[in-house]
Structure 1
């Protein structure tokens, strides 16, 4: 690199010297500081008056130098700048020369410009060649010649003893996965403890889970705990535009791993290279399939790879090839799922170590308010709270910042409140329609708060429910709960129709209606919750181009499809009728609630339920676990949009 820098410096000096030496002398004459410049009109007047004794024309420079008859001989000539084309001047000079004897001379242009052009082109080409060679040298590092052809070398990051700064103490909320992987670390540190009784070290561990649950963090923890060489690479780094490069990189990676065994190899996002083969497109010679075939052979082929443990992570296990998932390649599949309450509390405790949090803030309360949050989302939640605290110039994070951070993460950034207009009234009735049904329906989760403060993304307002943590964690939803949830989603549209009439219905319920259609169809086709019987008529995940059939197969006849549509419509219309009936019966309560909401812009669940009790004799839904938990803030329905 020093040699290249010296070349570039010498080139720049050469360009400077050539530029100075090849400058036309005529330009120097034109810019002489001793010459006196006169105007073109004065020059013409002097010519016509016969006061000019001699004229020299420099056509390329569009310059004329002339002397007056009364001008001393030793004085410099006068300069005048000419126009690009001036045939009148040529004719005038001819007449003056004949009439007054003025000496006129046209100075021919030299060939300097041609020489300069040729040398400049040669110099530019030479400079570009040197620059290209320097770029190639820098791209290939300090290696010797031939580095540009090393496409097939593995790009895995290698560390003899990885120091990632992350240990198992920094990983929280996924204790089962930690125990499995701690066992892998023990395999590597004291393999004889297991091999003495005939146990075989697992060849591969596949980490499966939703995004943000800590799969890559677990791999960093293993690298920090295990005192063995560690290779890390992403699945996308195997695939290149050149055919055969991916397979070559796989071979090179395992060759280096065998030389440093026992060791760990971590492949992040393995679905980039491990997707199912034979999708019907690309053929068997597809570059990705060749790379996958080589990976399968290296993990468990004719030659063994004793002492190499491959750890891979993906959030798309459904698209992976079956040969990759079999025992002998990935012996263990560890699910890294969304954390439960205890897991969320542990994750919050880890991320709260370096943050200043007020004494009144309870991490237990935050953990109960955030079911369904991943570890990454919890970390982002505390970070947003810290940013809001700094913006508000507070010394520690308080409950107000936690509340605003939860709303910002789940819904969006707060915008300026709406002015008192028809749009604001429409949004208020829409959201109160949702909130009233959350309060009155027996099997629905109760209301946390309702607001008409707009949020980013076109959200004009929203109503939040207090979701049952057990139900969210277990994923078990009853038919009664699903029907009530559909009724709640239709509450906004029902309120618009009852209050303003069919002609004033807005498009604000479009997202609600999409969610209603999906829920009702799943009840019929997947959950067996309709008059069609206990049948699963559709299966999820029939995506094209993921190793499955190009044309998805219909799982029922056209007659059954008509019945499915009929059942879906029956469910939706039944829930819609209930929503309209409840809103019609409690019109007085809705009007009072809307007036209060327009005044305060946000009403919490307790105040809302207290107002509903004043206008109805029906039992009001209260949080069953209110004594032990702070309300869970989670968006239950799509808000009114502009």
Structure 2
């Protein structure tokens, strides 16, 4: 019946149009209005379709990504023994349900991983999914940020809904949602105008409060940030993110473990000492350590070598620390000035801590025209006044050498002075100056600058006196540097020992 009605309608419309033309009717305005209505209809339809896809997490690019754990295990992650132990203890609350019920323990709802970039927070979250045999869903905080009010909150709701459905489908009792860079949506709420971020955060707080102990599947939220201080207090309270786990830079033992993991698929020369590499990479994150081995393999490929040698690894450490070699060619006068500058740093470093210089180089890297690579000290976390003053003198060594030989400094000392002033600020913060124990924020700027100038002027004078006793080392080292462009730590120490004897 419907088919006959459509055919009759198709036949009548052309007939009416022809009859109107015969009578002289103007159809142009009618046609224009009809075209505008049709265009408006399709625009509204497309907009509604796009909003529906974005809100439901369909084919939109903002869909919360659901990933498999990739069978990553905790023993495949090196350098974070303390963080792994804390995390595994927290995850046991999902696994050992009978024990926690017996003791009346409330299950943990959220775990916050904090620490510098590249320390393995995402890897720990993936390993958590494998450890608990849970459904794993990952998202970044930026995926919930939109200019349209309510869209972020809708995506939070849909993310929890999708995870529950997936866990039921796979017949799993636990699910883990990992939100990276949570500070994007979890920042402190301020009074005044309501923001899209606030609505998204409010929805996340609501979803976390709705996680009951008897509800299955049980959902655990793991979030990561390197800016914990920016998070809203409502997120950090017990009952939401119950555990705050610090994922810090690895110590020497941790660095060695990470290096061994990433070296498994790389052919290493017998002369490679991984313990020495772990010592030289003090302050490196896990991501930087992986990059060291990767860059070393690239250097080996460039030199058509079949194995990675200690020279390749040394070049890789320099690249990760300071950047790739540049093509900038300094003129002879600048090159001599740079050599004196770097030798000033090196001499002070050896005086303050014997055996600390690994290499002095005039090869430009990154923005530096030359550099001194140091053998890092043993890991320690407490600094005395004497130690900090020694580090300040090392930083001032380059400028002091320029003043001795040229009577004036250059702009090459800018970064050295910034480092020196940071160390002075650390001394003030720690109560190691004449100001005593103070809050640096409450110290008048002029008073702080007076103390800063007094300390730096005194240490600059001491630095110059030390350098003036090693003038022969300057002259001997300069000849080698100008010819070879690099001076090894052993060569440099031989020259220093000649003066001492």
For the aligned pair, the TM-score class normalised by the smaller chain equals 0.7 to 0.9
Which structure 2 residues correspond to residues 213-612 of structure 1 after superposition, within 5 A?
A: 213-259=119-165, 260=167, 262-278=174-190, 283-300=192-209, 306=215, 307-415=218-326, 418=329, 421-441=332-352, 446-457=356-367, 459-471=368-380, 474=381, 476-502=382-408, 505-524=409-428, 526-538=429-441, 555-556=442-443, 560-612=444-496
- The answer to whether the 8 A contact 2:126-2:136 is kept is no
1:267 and 1:600 map into 2 onto residues whose CA distance is: 51
2:269 and 2:473 map into 1 onto residues whose CA distance is: 39
1:437 and 1:167 map into 2 onto residues whose CA distance is: 46
2:421 and 2:355 map into 1 onto residues whose CA distance is: 20
Three-state SS of the structure 2 residue aligned to 1:470 is coil
Compared CA separation, residues 585 and 262, structure 1 to 2 (3 A)? closer
* Deviation, structure 1 residue 315: 0.9
2:446 and 2:50 map into 1 onto residues whose CA distance is: 65
Compared CA separation, residues 581 and 199, structure 1 to 2 (3 A)? same
> Partner residue of 2:70?
164
2:69 and 2:397 map into 1 onto residues whose CA distance is: 55
- The answer to whether the 8 A contact 1:417-1:453 is kept is no
- The answer to whether the 8 A contact 2:281-2:376 is kept is no
Three-state SS of the structure 1 residue aligned to 2:244 is strand
> Partner residue of 2:60?
none
> Partner residue of 1:92?
none
Greater share of residues in helix: 2
1:291 and 1:341 map into 2 onto residues whose CA distance is: 41
TM-score (norm 1): 0.66
- Provide Cα deviations, 1:533-587, integer angstroms capped at 9, x if missing partner: 122323xxxxxxxxxxxxxxxx24xxx4332211110000001111222223332
Rg larger for = 1
User: Gaps spanning 5+ residues in structure 1: where?
Assistant: 1-117, 539-554, 618-642
2:203 and 2:83 map into 1 onto residues whose CA distance is: 29
Which structure 2 residues correspond to residues 190-201 of structure 1 after superposition, within 5 A?
A: 190-201=96-107
* Deviation, structure 1 residue 231: 2.1
- The answer to whether the 8 A contact 2:69-2:136 is kept is no
2:328 and 2:53 map into 1 onto residues whose CA distance is: 60
> Partner residue of 1:20?
none
1:302 and 1:331 map into 2 onto residues whose CA distance is: 13
Question: Between Structure 1 and Structure 2, how many residues are aligned?
Answer: 452
Compared CA separation, residues 231 and 453, structure 1 to 2 (3 A)? closer
User: Gaps spanning 5+ residues in structure 2: where?
Assistant: 1-27, 58-62, 168-172
- The answer to whether the 8 A contact 1:447-1:466 is kept is yes
* Deviation, structure 1 residue 346: 1.3
TM-score (norm 2): 0.83
- Provide Cα deviations, 1:227-254, integer angstroms capped at 9, x if missing partner: 2322221111122111111122222323
Compared CA separation, residues 345 and 589, structure 1 to 2 (3 A)? closer
Compared CA separation, residues 608 and 264, structure 1 to 2 (3 A)? same
* Deviation, structure 1 residue 210: 0.7
CA RMSD of aligned residues (A): 2.8
- The answer to whether the 8 A contact 1:527-1:536 is kept is no
